Structure 1
Amino acid sequence: MSNLTHAKIVPRPSKTRGTANHGWLDTKHTFSFASWYDPRYVQFGSLRVLNEDRVQAGEGFPTHFHKDAEIFSYILSGELTHRDSMQKKGAEADDKNTFSRLHRNDVQFTTGGRGISHSEYNEHDRDWVHFLQIWVLPWKRNLPPTYHTRTFPEEDKRKGFVNIITPLKAGPNATLEDEKAAVPTKEGTIPIHADVVFSAGIIPPGETFHYKVGAGDVVTSKSDRKVYVHLPETKGGKSSIRLDGREDAVLKEGDGAYVTHVNANDMLQVENVGAAEAEVVVIDSE
């Protein structure tokens, strides 16, 4: 039975995503990206890119430039190595925000701002890496470029949805000192320059988690939030979830759903109706 009768939930089947297989890279795009364009799928709120990527060992994305985008990678399996434009292989620094070898449960975040360059490679000698790359449009252009890297323990995500990214506490008018301090609205999360919350949970079979829209009071825009739910392809098709108890809102692996007409503090029910645990990510924007 629906608990959010005022909410509109529209599933987005995996088969509608853009796909490309370059041999070393198998990628699926929820929104128009690179050479794939569909005017129906350009963005949702501040969410501009949601790519599910698999990269072969020894391959990756060479140094490339980003500007005016908030970009983060959520590692599902394997290993992904991030280097900024100053870091060369074999000359690794101790600073995890300029060099980081990411594994499952790690999140690497970049503020492109006025311009930044980095590379992302799978430097493992055998295993593919499977990760989500997500881009959010910032509330302001020409911000100071920054990096953040943090681990979010798996055991916490098995207890309920974990908030991973929340807005920069100082807001759009942050000073340079505020930017350097990088304080998020919720302690222990990564700060983003947008009214956006990114969360993840790992739901055991037969169990139900509840996602609190807007993570409560951490967002500025309280009404008509735009929530995108995505179920990554992690269990060979054995995972499946149902949103808000609705029979027409059942998602299989690779599917997503647009949830609209919801407000901060609304509770979205996410039920695992599959045979395997379901790792669910939520991007919640103004």
Structure 2
Amino acid sequence: MASILRKAKITPHLSSTRGHNSLGWLDTYHSFSFADWYDPKYTHFGSLRVLNEDRVKPNTGFPTHPHRDFEIFSYILSGELTHRDSMLAKGKEGGQSDKFFRMHRGDVQFTTGGTGIAHSEFNEHNKDTVHFLQIWAIPWKRGLTPRYHTRNFPDQDKREGFVKILSPLKAGEDATAQEEAEAEPVIPNTIPIHADFVMGAGIIAPDGKFEWTVGGGATQTTQRKVYVHVPMLKGGRAKIRLDGREDAELSEGDGAFIEGVQIGDKLVVESIGEAEAEVVVLDTA
């Protein structure tokens, strides 16, 4: 197919150019500068600040640690990841809640760090490694009230087209305390984020095509940036092509910066590999 986004600039970010660190219990790849890895070419993209692809071995994880003034979300690809709030002791859970949540494939947990929040993320499974994306966005203002949200987004829906996962808080930057508590997103059945930011995900069968409408139908800023990422799930057998361009073909672990696009533009994503491709789209001002 021919390019639709003729004025758009698409720059692949190959997996080999990501930061990588293996700590024994953690194997992690950084699409943007993080921790001890810094590359001035990869500091942020619009409000997108962090995209880490992590694998955590059984009975290990991130001990209780603080966050402030970032919107942070975990997208579970396989295995299980247990979130514990610092306010709830282990063994006192009494069921899934904001203070305790054992996540599995399809779950997304979202944290507004705001004025300060502390939690742990552990793989408490006895034998299975957990594989997930951790993504951070820069909020539209600092000092927000800390908050958690968790939702499941089934594979069946993602195989039919891009599923919207995050969309801006409907009340906007000047939301009242009540509107913050109500946490209504612009797009129903998504998780609200404090940023001009939309996240989508799809699972595209070989030879299939999905279309992403820039802006996700949820934002007002006309000029947009879109980042696309292909998680490492199929042993290298998944591959996609963006906008019909041969120089915009991505393998597992690769991403791409898409610039020069506007609300309503159509980004066509083709699956050209031997296995279905899971594709994450991060659309930002």
TM range (shorter): over 0.9
Q: CA deviation at 1:55?
A: 0.1
Alignment-derived partner of residue 188 in structure 1: 189
Q: CA deviation at 1:91?
A: 1.2
- Taking the aligned partners of 1:197 and 1:86, their CA distance within structure 2 comes to 30
Alignment of 1:153-172 (within 5 A): 153-172=154-173
2:47 alignment partner AA: S
1:220 alignment partner AA: Q
- Taking the aligned partners of 2:272 and 2:154, their CA distance within structure 1 comes to 24
- Taking the aligned partners of 1:208 and 1:43, their CA distance within structure 2 comes to 28
- Taking the aligned partners of 2:249 and 2:209, their CA distance within structure 1 comes to 13
- Taking the aligned partners of 1:43 and 1:20, their CA distance within structure 2 comes to 19
- Taking the aligned partners of 2:170 and 2:150, their CA distance within structure 1 comes to 18
Alignment-derived partner of residue 254 in structure 2: 255
Alignment-derived partner of residue 230 in structure 2: 231
Alignment-derived partner of residue 220 in structure 2: 220
Are residues 1:45 and 2:53 paired? Answer: no
Alignment-derived partner of residue 239 in structure 2: 240
Q: CA deviation at 1:4?
A: 1.0
Alignment of 1:30-179 (within 5 A): 30-179=31-180
Range 153-162 or range 87-96, more displaced: 87-96
User: Is the CA contact 1:169–1:183 (under 8 Å) kept in the aligned structure 2?
Assistant: yes
User: Is the CA contact 2:162–2:210 (under 8 Å) kept in the aligned structure 1?
Assistant: yes
Q: CA deviation at 1:103?
A: 0.2
Point out where structure 1 has 5 or more consecutive residues left out of the alignment. Answer: none
User: Is the CA contact 2:83–2:99 (under 8 Å) kept in the aligned structure 1?
Assistant: yes
Deviation per CA, 1:59-97: give whole Å up to 9, x if none. 000000000000000000000000111122211143522
2:134 alignment partner AA: Q
1:43 alignment partner AA: H
Secondary structure (helix, strand or coil) at the match of 1:179 reads helix
2:228 alignment partner AA: V
Are residues 1:7 and 2:16 paired? Answer: no
Give the TM-score of the pair, scaled to structure 1.
0.98
Point out where structure 2 has 5 or more consecutive residues left out of the alignment. Answer: none
Secondary structure (helix, strand or coil) at the match of 2:198 reads strand
- Taking the aligned partners of 2:49 and 2:191, their CA distance within structure 1 comes to 19
Give the TM-score of the pair, scaled to structure 2.
0.99
User: Is the CA contact 2:96–2:102 (under 8 Å) kept in the aligned structure 1?
Assistant: no
1:102 alignment partner AA: M
- Taking the aligned partners of 2:95 and 2:174, their CA distance within structure 1 comes to 32
User: Is the CA contact 2:74–2:132 (under 8 Å) kept in the aligned structure 1?
Assistant: yes
User: Is the CA contact 1:87–1:93 (under 8 Å) kept in the aligned structure 2?
Assistant: no
RMSD: 0.7
Number of matched residues?
284
- Taking the aligned partners of 1:230 and 1:34, their CA distance within structure 2 comes to 20
